[in-house]
Amino acid sequence: MTIPTDRMPTEAEVTEFLTSMGDTPGAVADWLFNHGITGNAGDPWRCPIAMALIYQFPVLDTSPGSYAFSVSTFIKIAPALGQHYGAEGGLTVSIPAAVADFIINFDSYDAYPHLRI
């Protein structure tokens, strides 16, 4: 996958990346661990999946652009200042089942303590 560095990722690019993380919650956790990605449970800006998106698509780095991540069965990436995605703001992508299950387990069941900050 070519990683865009000068523009926001498309829905297809985000979907392809999330799908590539694995087909089970455990495989997603392994992918995160193998890439040194950790995060906070229940924190959409610093959950491991948001951090993985920043890792894969550096343009999403929250420090300069204030991007908000809303994560549930979908992920919405919205620039706080309306940059890049225009005035409507945001990109919404359905989360593959393995990633969604990882999020539920990480946030609700204290799973994967080695991935917690």
Give the chain's radius of gyration (CA, Å): 13
Instruction: Calculate mean pLDDT across residues 64-75.
Output: 57
Which domain, by its residues, includes 105? 11-115
* Tokens encoding 15: 């979907």
> Domain for residue 106, yes or no?
yes
How many CA atoms are closer than 13 Å to the CA of 51, on its beta-carbon side? 19
In a domain, 111, yes or no: yes
Query: Taking residues 14-41, what's their average pLDDT?
Result: 96
- What is the mean predicted confidence (pLDDT) over 52-79? 67
The closest of 32, 52, 43 to 107, measured between CA atoms, is: 43
Considering the domain boundaries, does residue 55 fall inside one?
Answer: yes
Question: For the chain, how many structural domains are there in total?
Answer: 1
- 6 within some domain: no
- 91 inside domain: yes
Q: Model confidence at 64, in pLDDT bands (50, 70, 90)?
A: very low
Model confidence at 36, pLDDT cuts 50, 70, 90, reads: very high
